Amino acid sequence: MTIHGPADGWVETSDGRRFWGRAGAAGLLVVDADDRVLLQHRVEWSHHGGTWGLPGGARQFDETAVEGALRESGEEAAVPGDALRLVFESVLEVPPWSYTTVVARVERPFEAVISDAESIELAWVPRADVAALPLHPGFAASWPGLEAQLDLAPHLVVDAANVVGSRPDGWWRDRAGAATRLLGALSAAARTGLPADLVLAEPPTGAGAATSWWPHVTVVLEGEARGAAETADGPEAGSPGTAAHPVTVVRASADGDAAIVEVVDRLRAGGGQVVVVTADRELGARVRARGADVVGPGRLLAALDALPAS
């Protein structure tokens, strides 16, 4: 392994296994519009040389898993981060070490190029053909779980009036201001991702299971809250060099509950998995009848409170 910085080095577990990356490691699983996965054929002198795996490597101490995966895939395969949209990430914990698989979709086609000495070749491999290759053991163990989630399209629909009203912080004095703060927090979540057990009612478990998602988020505003300010949630909303799904704002002309039901119907018609954030029992029953799941405002607020400070 080439030493690049203080985080490059081996970590040994209590049972004698060794893993590369003192701050953990991360790899990028990127899928293009033709449903092909970018794979790296590893040079013989590398760990598990001769196998196929994901571009990636050791994280640095001062970077997130997404930043590490993007940096490493840029160094090894010239992957342009601004051509990607984040989907989900999966963390494998082998204390004191961890490996994070960052999953992204190609938004703008690019040519992968061998950029360092760690690859024999790079190839866009059809999903159906991946398992037939001699895979890196870690990737081989996680691939079935990762692959099973690639077609999921989770949507989070937020009943803003109910979420804002669940916390007695003086929101009634400035409903539009309170809604603006909620939109800002959700835009921040678009950059960092949200917990899998919030975004999916029954998140997969086992090897490769997502720990966090970058879902589609729709926020429904009603009444005075319709005056909430838009937030900066455009293409730059992902971690550096990537994009996340922008937050969609629906300003209900009258009944906010009816607008939420319309959103759920539209998303479900498109085949999406929908979770509605509300504590309104009547609304919850209506959207459940349409195939959506429901979580309470407390779950969302706890996730937003846990976001790192900007």
**What pLDDT, in 10s, does the model give residues 134-146?**
999 999 999 999 9
More confident residue, 310 or 271: 271
Measure the CA–CA gap between 17 and 10, rounded to whole angstroms: 10
Instruction: Specify the CATH architecture of the domain 154-305.
Output: 3-Layer(aba) Sandwich (3.40)
Per mean pLDDT, which range of 26-30, 126-130, 179-183, 246-250 is the poorest? 246-250
**What pLDDT, in 10s, does the model give residues 88-120?**
999 998 899 899 999 999 999 999 999 877 778
Phi/psi for 229 (5° steps) reads -75, 145
Helix orientation angle between 297-305 and 175-192, rounded to the nearest 10 degrees: 70
| Burial bucket for residue 307 (CB in 10 Å: 0-12, 13-18, 19+) | middle
For the chain, what is the HEC assignment?
CCCCCCCCCEEECCCCCEEECCCCEEEEEEECCCCEEEEEEECCCCCCCCCEECCEEECCCCCCHHHHHHHHHHHHHCCCHHHEEEEEEEEEEECCEEEEEEEEEECCCCCCCCCCCCEEEEEEEEHHHHCCCCECHHHHHHHHHHHHHCCCCEEEEEEHHHHHHCCCCCHHHCHHHHHHHHHHHHHHHHHHCEEHHHHCCCCCCCCCCCCEECCEEEEEECHHHHHCCCCCCCHHHCCCCCECCCEEEEECCCCHHHHHHHHHHHHHHCCCEEEEECCCHHHHHHHHCCCCEEECHHHHHHHHHCCCCC
| pTM passes above 0.85 | yes
Domain boundaries, the chain: 10-149, 154-305
Phi/psi for 109 (5° steps) reads -60, 145
Residues 10-149: name the CATH superfamily: Nucleoside Triphosphate Pyrophosphohydrolase (3.90.79.10)
Check residue 260 and give left, alpha or beta (phi > 0: left; psi -120 to 50: alpha): alpha
- As given in the structure block, the two tokens for residue 150 are 């690639």
Reported as a pLDDT band with limits 50, 70 and 90, residue 20 is: confident
- Residue 191: the pLDDT is 79
| Burial bucket for residue 258 (CB in 10 Å: 0-12, 13-18, 19+) | middle
**What pLDDT, in 10s, does the model give residues 213-228?**
999 999 999 999 999 9
- Residue 118: the pLDDT is 76
Q: Would the pLDDT of 242 be above 70? A: no
119-to-61, 80, 203, 209, 286 alpha-carbon distances in Å: 25, 18, 34, 27, 53
- Residue 236: the pLDDT is 44
CB-CB contact of 294 with 278 (8 Å): yes
Distance from the Cα of residue 40 to its chain's centroid: 22
- Residue 152: the pLDDT is 93
CB-CB contact of 255 with 262 (8 Å): no
Q: Which amino acid is at 76?
A: E
Q: What is the mean pLDDT of the chain?
A: 90
